Homo-oligomer: A and B are copies of this chain.
């Protein structure tokens, strides 16, 4: 039986796992990234982590046929080079060449959001769909497009930045520098900003109380908890936020009409409580007025990135 290593290179940790051809994660481990040390040290630790998970999992080392790496930022997939990853301070890092030589295995590379999408498509919430889009509502709005079970990476490796399509052209400033991106309205960060603005007008809101009276301690969960207690301000903030989320999902459907949209990120722990109102809004916004695309919550959590990365190696070997 062949095995594939998937590596999820994050700003905080490097996570890696042993994955089978059907996307089952057999064993995983992680180490701190420590990117300030420079890429040579990071890649040396990554190779060490790969060796460790092979040893600890007890599989035959010869059964490992390839390594896939999911990296933040912009990746040159064809040449296996991390062109630019701001939060790692990486620029033109030839990960395929270095890790490949170190491990004696072929190394494949893709953007981390795309890997997460491929993971959910292989073994997660979209495993029964040939086309899916995975949207992660986190610090930003990440997205990855899978068509015919393959990542749509675009002509130059930059597709799938749906978070950076305009929701309100000329509106709120996005982290990318553009005004009015979906991310600036639908990320967890945006929800928190929207809640902060609301409590400035309504300091009596339970949101502030649940954040110990400190607006800087408002989290997504705090807003939902306040709404649970019947706080009108929190309910209004959430309703408006979910409209923003839904509008971007409708845009995604009108453009790509995937079989399934998978929603991930911490906010999605709310499950049906957010899915039901989102669905109600998407139906209003989708072209033709009929919602055929399934909206579901991600099931793999952080493992999606590892599994999807491993599948890069599988795809290439077939």
Contacts and interface: CB of A to CB of B under 8 A. Distances in A.
Interface string A152-185: 1111111111101111111100001110100000
A116 interface: no
Interface string A221-262: 000000000000000000000001001101111111111000
Contact of A155 (B154, B156, B255, B292): B292
Interface in A128-171: 129-131, 145, 147, 152-162, 164-171
A165 B250 CA distance: 7
Number of copies of this chain that the complex holds: 2
Nearest to A130: B155
B287 A164 contact: yes
A178 B131 CA distance: 25
A130 to B, nearest CB: 8
A74 interface: yes
Interface string A29-55: 000000000000000000000000000
A293 B155 contact: yes
Given A160-B255, A288-B74, A247 B155 contact: no
A285 interface: yes
Closest 4 CB pairs of A and B: A154-B257, A155-B259, A165-B251, A159-B257
8 contacts: A129-B155, A147-B152, A157-B257, A160-B255, A168-B168, A168-B170, A169-B247, A178-B287
